[in-house]
């Protein structure tokens, strides 16, 4: 029997070893935007949106949230399973913060929900005041 000893080596720092494996990749957090800032230049990128849920519709696929921030309206899509209600804790009239990926569907912009949460009562009050101010100026 021929038993060879197997060498083990630490490849970290070894010449030719890709540096990307030595460090964890860090991502910048998504920035906040308003609906009126959405255009073709931001397709495929993640952003934070804050606003109010106007209505909720369940389709045979995703759950659709009609969303407004005072500058416009946007459909937000949530998907967990075909025909199953996504984010059941979110109701019509709730003020929310959501991280979304901006996409286009049927020549309309939409947000694909990455994460979503109800705003606290103080955040809700601040948001409603911002929306009133936007509407007053508009």
Mean pLDDT, residues 43-50? 96
**Band (9; pLDDT cuts 50, 70, 90):** very low
pTM: 0.78
In this predicted structure, what is the pLDDT of residue 14?
A: 47
In this predicted structure, what is the pLDDT of residue 29?
A: 85
| Segment 52-98, tens digit of pLDDT | 999 999 999 999 999 999 999 999 999 999 999 999 999 999 999 99
> What is the 3-state composition of the chain as percent helix, strand, coil, each rounded to the nearest 5?
20, 35, 45
Residue 51 has pLDDT above 80, yes or no: yes
In this predicted structure, what is the pLDDT of residue 61?
A: 95
Mean pLDDT, residues 102-113? 96
**What is the rounded distance in angstroms from the CA atom of residue 81 to the CA atom of residue 61?**
7
| Segment 109-132, tens digit of pLDDT | 999 999 999 999 999 999 999 999
C-alpha dihedral, 87 to 90 to 92 to 95, nearest 10°:
-130
Asked if 131 contacts 86 with a C-beta cutoff of 8 angstroms, the reply is: no
Residue 18 has pLDDT above 60, yes or no: no
* Cβ neighbours around 71 below 10 Å, total: 18
Residue 2 has pLDDT above 90, yes or no: no
């Amino acid at each position: 029997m021929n038993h060879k000893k197997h060498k083990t080596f630490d490849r970290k720092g070894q010449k030719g070893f890709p540096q990307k494996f030595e460090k964890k990749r860090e991502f910048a957090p998504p920035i906040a935007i308003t609906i009126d800032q959405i255009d073709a230049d931001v397709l495929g990128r993640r952003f934070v949106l804050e606003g109010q849920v106007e209505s909720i519709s369940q389709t045979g696929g995703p759950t659709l949230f009609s969303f407004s921030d005072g500058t416009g309206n946007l459909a937000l899509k949530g998907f967990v399973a075909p025909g199953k209600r996504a984010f059941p804790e979110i109701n019509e009239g709730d003020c929310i913060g959501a991280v979304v990926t901006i996409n286009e569907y049927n020549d309309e912009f939409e947000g694909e929900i990455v994460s979503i949460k109800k705003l606290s009562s103080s955040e809700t009050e601040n948001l409603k005041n911002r929306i009133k101010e936007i509407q007053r100026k508009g």
